[in-house]
Structure 1
Amino acid sequence: MAKIEKFEDLQVWLLAREISQAVWLLFENTSLGKDFELKNQMSRSSGSIMDNIAEGFERNGNREFIHFLSISKGSCGELRSQLYRAFDRNHITKEQFEEIATKTDFENRKIGAFIAYLNSSDYRGNKFSKTSTGNSKSQTQNPEQ
């Protein structure tokens, strides 16, 4: 197993980035880009998924990381709800809806599994380590691989 050294190593963050990019492409290629209120909400919720994973990781403690992962999980649901609105307003096709909704559902499940792993781990985080140097390198193995 590879060690997690930075949030960019996390599969859940990489998928969140992919989702955020897919949402942005909807803005660029559909009438959704002109629905400014919904566009803003979707941009914020898709960004929140990846940003909260990053912020939680950088806190260097499992309890805080789990809290931020939970927020990311909630943002997955929020984005799926917004996708329904975009579909219902005929901004996106059924295929576009299903592609991103499927990714957010998968991301939601991956984050949930990661939370379960962290909850069962004895490792509390770098900030509790006696040898902590204040950096974000993890002493745990990557459970995502």
Structure 2
Amino acid sequence: MKTFRDLMIWQKAMALVTKCYKKTSKFPKEELFALTSQLKRCSVSIPSNIAEGYGRGTNKDYHRFLNIAMGSLFEFQTQIEIAYDLEYINETDLNDIYSDSRELERMLSSFISKIKGTL
């Protein structure tokens, strides 16, 4: 592995960001500075923290940033359910996005455990 870009968790997180931006583009305009913005920020935070932790140079720092990414993922999952409850996305979109986020959650959890084992 040469860079964080080679990590499957980073690639999956980037795909989730793209999906988030596409879905939130259809949210009501009054949500632009509320739920839309919050969803975008927490989705961007996931791959950003994976990348930042990778660049820190120690497994202890990496572990900390991976946990921050996991927190952002949980925030994203909560907010996407709020978007569904408010009928900004339909059930098919919710299931699609939530499925992707759960897959990323499992992968990230496994990776965190591997890193933790090296501390």
* TM-score bucket of the superposed structures, by smaller chain: over 0.9
Aligned-residue offset at 1:21: 0.2
Aligned-partner Cα distance in 2 for 1:73–1:105: 11
Larger relative contact order, structure 1 or 2 (CA cutoff 8 Å, min sep 6): 1
Aligned-partner Cα distance in 1 for 2:77–2:93: 12
TM-score of the superposition, structure 1-length normalised? Answer: 0.77
Give RMSD over aligned pairs.
Answer: 1.1
Q: Is 1:11 the equivalent of 2:4?
A: no
Show the counterpart of 1:91. 88
Aligned-residue offset at 1:119: 1.8
Aligned residues: 117
Structure 2 gaps, min length 5: none
Aligned-residue offset at 1:102: 1.1
Amino acid at match of 2:60: R
Aligned-residue offset at 1:27: 2.0
User: Does the Cα contact within 8 Å between 1:26 and 1:33 map onto a contact in 2?
Assistant: no
Aligned-residue offset at 1:33: 5.2
Q: Which has the larger radius of gyration?
A: 1
Aligned-residue offset at 1:106: 1.2
Aligned-partner Cα distance in 1 for 2:7–2:48: 12
SS at 1:91 equivalent: coil
User: Does the Cα contact within 8 Å between 1:23 and 1:46 map onto a contact in 2?
Assistant: yes
* Greater Cα shift, 85-94 or 32-41: 32-41
Normalized per residue, the structure richer in helix is 2
Aligned-partner Cα distance in 2 for 1:73–1:67: 10
Amino acid at match of 2:42: S
Percent identity of paired positions between Structure 1 and Structure 2: 28
Change (3 A) 1:27 1:112: same
Q: Is 1:26 the equivalent of 2:23?
A: yes
Q: Which deviations, in whole Å up to 9, do the C-alpha atoms of 1:84-112 show, x marking residues without a partner?
A: 11001111010101111111111111111
Structure 1 gaps, min length 5: 125-145
Aligned ranges 1:1-145 → 2 under 5 Å: 4-28=1-25, 30=26, 32=27, 34=29, 35-36=31-32, 37-121=34-118
SS at 1:106 equivalent: helix
Structure 1 runs of 4+ with >3 Å offset? none
